[in-house]
């Protein structure tokens, strides 16, 4: 039985009504890390793994949800106020429903069954995929519409208020707006995005999950955000026009860096350079200069490791393993929030065959942990599935 059949079967255990199917992909960021909450640029792709929801409308205002991954069925009532930040998976689902209602959408009750094949805690936007797939299902079943950017913003708000993670907007926008065969250059201030075609014939994207779940991730993430805000406060003295680190160019940083205390200076250095690199990377991809794209990815890892200090020993080993295969690897870096999770690798398609095993063995040899390696395809954003296939 494939995953869609399992989902349909789980749904039939909830209700005999025929379901509609919705899918939201996970995502991986190629470059532009820790720039989204600084109003900067990011360059992610959606991947060919995601969360699928089978759903049907109910006549009342109850939402019953079966998660195949958690092997659990739970429910809540849209007319009865609920709790937030309980630390359970329902926070994402219920949070999304309540956020949509708070934004003026009247939802109907629904029966939902969910299944995800995105590894959790690997920095592959599994939370955003859950929020957006559920949000799209509830909206569609209720006969309501919302544009993709508004849906992404609702997902981010659900995560802030109901899950308690102050994430940026990258993951939710990737999941809603991505396009197959393209990376998405997102301006996280205006929320505009430009589709950059990928040369999928000659390059492949490989995600290597270290198997280390984000350690200390949420406290360190808030700390980094606060350090960036502090940098803006201090730099506003000589540069009164700036609103976020997005407004600081490399020359400005170099001119004024000495007024910043450490570690704020190093954090600022990473963000300012990374922001520029995201734009250069988009240009490089656009002009087919994959070697330059790879070099920018390698530099990004170095700066995340040394200046932003969000890498960890296992991520560094995984990156080094890939970089020690120059015939195959164009670039390798940690991706996502850091402190565990996965690396993203840009690999020559003609040398792809031995690549996953080579880095997996090297990593296993050094860390004694067996990693999961995924060759991913840049995929479309969230949608209703009308042909039965994801």
Q: Interface mask (CB under 6 A) for ligand GLA, residues 65-104, using x and -?
A: ----------------------------------------
* Neighbouring residues of 6: CB distance < 8 A, sequence distance ≥ 6: 68, 115
Least distance from ligand GLA to the Cβ atom of residue 29, Å: 6
Q: Which of 25, 31, 36, 131 binds ligand GLA (CB under 6 A)?
A: 36
Based on the shown chain and the rule CB under 6 A, indicate whether residue 339 belongs to the binding site for ligand GLA: no
Q: Which of 111, 171, 247, 307 is catalytic?
A: 171
Q: CA angle at residue 202 from 198 to 205, to 5 degrees?
A: 60
Cβ(336)–Cβ(122) below 8 Å: yes
Least distance from ligand GLA to the Cβ atom of residue 304, Å: 9
Q: CA angle at residue 368 from 364 to 371, to 5 degrees?
A: 50
Based on the shown chain and the rule CB under 6 A, indicate whether residue 155 belongs to the binding site for ligand GLA: no
Three-state SS at 175 = helix
Based on the shown chain and the rule CB under 6 A, indicate whether residue 30 belongs to the binding site for ligand GLA: no
Based on the shown chain and the rule CB under 6 A, indicate whether residue 33 belongs to the binding site for ligand GLA: yes
Whether residue 171 lies in the annotated active site: yes
Based on the shown chain and the rule CB under 6 A, indicate whether residue 55 belongs to the binding site for ligand GLA: no
Based on the shown chain and the rule CB under 6 A, indicate whether residue 209 belongs to the binding site for ligand GLA: no
Q: Which of 28, 134, 152, 167 binds ligand GLA (CB under 6 A)?
A: 167
Q: b or e along 218-245 (b: 16 or more beta carbons within 10 Å of the residue's beta carbon)?
A: eebbeebbebbeebbebbeeebeebebb
Least distance from ligand GLA to the Cβ atom of residue 10, Å: 28
Measured CA to CA, the distance from residue 105 to residue 102 in angstroms comes to: 7
Based on the shown chain and the rule CB under 6 A, indicate whether residue 314 belongs to the binding site for ligand GLA: no
Measured CA to CA, the distance from residue 148 to residue 146 in angstroms comes to: 6
Cβ(208)–Cβ(325) below 8 Å: no
Q: In the complex, which residue's CB is closest to ligand GLA?
A: 168
* Neighbouring residues of 91: CB distance < 8 A, sequence distance ≥ 6: 84, 85, 162, 163, 164
Least distance from ligand GLA to the Cβ atom of residue 340, Å: 12
Residues designated as active site: 171
């Amino acid at each position: 039985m494939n995953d869609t059949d399992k989902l349909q079967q789980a749904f039939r255990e909830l209700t005999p009504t025929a379901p509609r199917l919705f899918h939201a992909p996970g995502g991986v960021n190629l470059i532009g890390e820790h720039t989204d909450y600084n109003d900067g640029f990011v360059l992610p792709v959606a991947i060919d793994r995601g969360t699928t929801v089978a759903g049907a409308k109910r006549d009342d205002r109850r939402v019953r949800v079966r998660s195949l991954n958690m092997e659990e069925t739970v429910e809540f009532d849209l007319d009865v106020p609920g709790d937030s930040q309980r630390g359970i998976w329902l926070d994402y689902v219920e949070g999304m429903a309540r956020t949509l209602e708070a934004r003026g959408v009247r939802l109907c009750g629904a029966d939902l069954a969910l299944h995800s094949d995105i590894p959790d805690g690997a920095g592959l936007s599994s939370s955003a995929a859950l929020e957006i797939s559920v949000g799209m299902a509830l909206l569609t079943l209720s006969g309501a519409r919302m544009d993709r950017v508004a849906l992404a913003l609702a997902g981010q708000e659900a995560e802030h208020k109901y899950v308690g993670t102050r994430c940026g907007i990258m993951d939710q926008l990737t999941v809603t707006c991505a396009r197959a065969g393209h990376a998405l250059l997102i301006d996280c201030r205006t929320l505009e995005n430009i589709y950059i075609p990928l040369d999928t014939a000659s390059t492949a994207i490989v995600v290597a999950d270290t198997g280390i779940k984000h350690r200390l991730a949420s406290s360190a993430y808030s700390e980094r955000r606060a350090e960036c805000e502090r940098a803006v406060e201090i730099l506003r003295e000589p540069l009164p026009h700036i609103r976020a680190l997005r407004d600081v160019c490399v020359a400005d940083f170099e001119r004024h860096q000495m007024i910043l205390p450490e570690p704020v200076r190093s954090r600022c250095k990473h963000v300012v350079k990374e922001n520029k690199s995201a734009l250069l990377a988009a240009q490089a991809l656009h002009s087919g200069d994959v070697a330059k794209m790879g070099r920018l990815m390698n530099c990004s890892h170095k700066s995340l490791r040394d200046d932003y200090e969000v890498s960890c020993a296992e991520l560094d080993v995984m990156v080094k393993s890939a970089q020690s295969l120059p015939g195959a690897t164009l670039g390798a870096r940690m991706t996502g929030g850091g402190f565990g999770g996965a690396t993203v690798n840009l690999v020559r398609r003609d040398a792809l065959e031995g690549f996953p095993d080579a880095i997996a063995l090297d990593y296993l040899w050094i860390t004694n942990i067996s990693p999961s390696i995924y060759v991913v395809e840049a995929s479309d954003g969230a949608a209703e599935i009308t042909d039965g296939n994801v």
